[in-house]
Structure 1
């Protein structure tokens, strides 16, 4: 079986590819590097956006490579918005990928109009308002436009299936005839070294800064302000980010506790990677997400978009400081059980083969 993984966000497809390859499947990854993260791929669509010619080249490059994107058994698109550029015929390009290959699947792996139209109505909380206010500094975004919903619907409707990589995105597509289910995020366990999480004099707590509003960083900042005043000799608090993935992971390795995000029902890929290292992770661990995954409990400490939930969680860990090493070990075991790239790859293969 030949598999083309088209596009990548936060290394989701890269980790999936490594799982597929270890299982003996031939797979090719096409990616633009996901911006400053500089993610690796087999074929790169990256270009220099600071130059006019770079933009032109960026629009032409996918068509230059199109002749070799033929004859695959499976093509999986990371999101309809991977190549949704101005002056680029994305829907036509995806149609050609569908036409030239046996099966075409779309991953629900990022914000899209379905998430904004349906997910927003179904979720008890989410990133929508803070994303508009802090990340875009506006009251409206393109995902709310009718034309964008039509584009989104067109792509997922000619797909053989839609596969969500988080609970919220899956919730957004529930009821769509092509929705095939939610598969947890994959991480390559063999590449992430576990180390015992032994606290020093101070608990080291880290929050990665990517999308300030979307991730709920303002709640973390407020919590850190309170905690630093109350526990100056017991806590080492750090917020940093917008750096290549390898540099980010170095900061995670030096921490005892990682705060992933406050606006999500489950973890993002960075939170899962922190779990695999043996870190205590604060983030999404809502009952709805755990039920969808098929587990009864998780070592992840659930937080909501409220600074008090973060303060309470950290204060509890200060009291239970002797338990941190044990919880860190449970974090690793949970990742091996739920997020192993091999286990996740088998779940994708099951859906691809049966649809």
Structure 2
């Protein structure tokens, strides 16, 4: 089959493409590479107005004249590839705004895709109306909106999330749900808000290519290495402030036992190379399930502090803190769990092995790819 994957988010579509190609399908990814992470795509739609003086100019023109230069640029680039974006057997959108343009432009580009391709599916992955609406109604015990509710950030700073509740975005949401074949969730944080939705086709876990990700046995001869990668734009959304406060306490108590490595906004490949030597990785706080960074680190045998809530444990039939450490939004909780591992390093070895086995069992690339194919074909 000819398959078009639109948008990229945390390398999900790149991994899925690897599986689809192995099974003999022709796959094209179109997108912007997910910003500074710079994931590979086949058709690159550059965000030319998101940095430096051009970004300032874009903001001024948008404020004064309601003109968005980046959206105009993306549409022009899209139009040069129009003939290459039609006639696919399957199209999958990474989320409700895969082109990351203003609502008017987004709907125009999505309309072209829907009119020129038979079977269009949607992933609930990243921010979208169902998940943000669910979080806004406080149906999660905690969520990406918790820092907003706690006044850690302003409404303006959280606008990229909150815009999914605005009428213009809701129009895109309802337009898509009217025209797509169905929606698939990538993990528990998107599964829960979609339960009972007539378009919902179910949860398909993120595909991980364990042939490319080697398991590294943890050696604990010297200090325990803790890695914390900060994404500045998502500092509060990921709970980086909580991790940093916890690390300060750990460093003051266990300076002779731990080495702490922190990075900020580095490309994906550099990020991977730096955390490879770590035993423990601090991923994110406000989640019930793991995203790609966490899953790839678990596949390598890292002990990951991430979303591992009770709903996730129940879904996979797991015991708490045996595969990943549930990072609750509490400095005391993070410190307590880090101390438990520092003082009982044998648990690092056990969790490391369990994490790899879990990824092989539940996130195997070809197994997950086949689930996508079965869901699309049904």
Q: Would you call these one fold, judging by a TM-score over 0.5?
A: yes
Deviation at 1:135, TM superposition (A): 8.1
1:129 aligns with 2:153: no
1:329 aligns with 2:368: no
Unaligned runs of 5+ in 2: 59-68
User: Aligned residue for 1:244?
Assistant: 267
The answer to which of 181-190 and 114-123 deviates more is 114-123
User: Aligned residue for 1:302?
Assistant: 326
Deviation at 1:150, TM superposition (A): 2.4
Deviation at 1:255, TM superposition (A): 0.4
User: Aligned residue for 1:260?
Assistant: 283
SS in 1 for 2:3: strand
Task: Map 1:102-121; keep pairs closer than 5 Å.
Answer: 102-121=118-137
Q: Deviations over 1:261-286 (max 9, x none)?
A: 11100111101110011111111111
Task: Map 1:119-268; keep pairs closer than 5 Å.
Answer: 119-121=135-137, 122-130=139-147, 133-134=152-153, 138=157, 141-210=162-231, 211-268=234-291
TM-score between the two structures when normalised by the length of structure 1: 0.93
Deviation at 1:174, TM superposition (A): 2.1
Deviation at 1:88, TM superposition (A): 5.2
Q: Choose which of 288, 313, 320 in structure 2 pairs with 1:290.
A: 313
User: Aligned residue for 2:78?
Assistant: 62
Moved over 6 A (4+): none
Summarize the Cα distance change of 1:134–1:253 in structure 2 as closer, same or farther, 3 Å threshold.
farther
Deviation at 1:48, TM superposition (A): 2.4
SS in 2 for 1:213: coil
The answer to which of 272-281 and 111-120 deviates more is 111-120
Deviation at 1:169, TM superposition (A): 1.4
Q: Choose which of 84, 93, 105 in structure 2 pairs with 1:77.
A: 93
Q: Deviations over 1:233-268 (max 9, x none)?
A: 111122213111100111220100011111100111
Q: Deviations over 1:64-97 (max 9, x none)?
A: 2121212211000001112241385212321221
Please give the alpha-carbon distance, in whole angstroms, between the structure 2 residues aligned to 1:57 and 1:144.
Answer: 25
Please give the alpha-carbon distance, in whole angstroms, between the structure 2 residues aligned to 1:322 and 1:168.
Answer: 31
| Contact kept in structure 1, 2:93 and 2:121, CA below 8 Å | yes
| Contact kept in structure 2, 1:134 and 1:212, CA below 8 Å | no
Please give the alpha-carbon distance, in whole angstroms, between the structure 1 residues aligned to 2:289 and 2:127.
Answer: 15
User: Aligned residue for 1:46?
Assistant: 46
RMSD over aligned CA atoms reads: 2.1
Aligned length: 353
Summarize the Cα distance change of 1:220–1:151 in structure 2 as closer, same or farther, 3 Å threshold.
same
| Contact kept in structure 2, 1:31 and 1:41, CA below 8 Å | yes
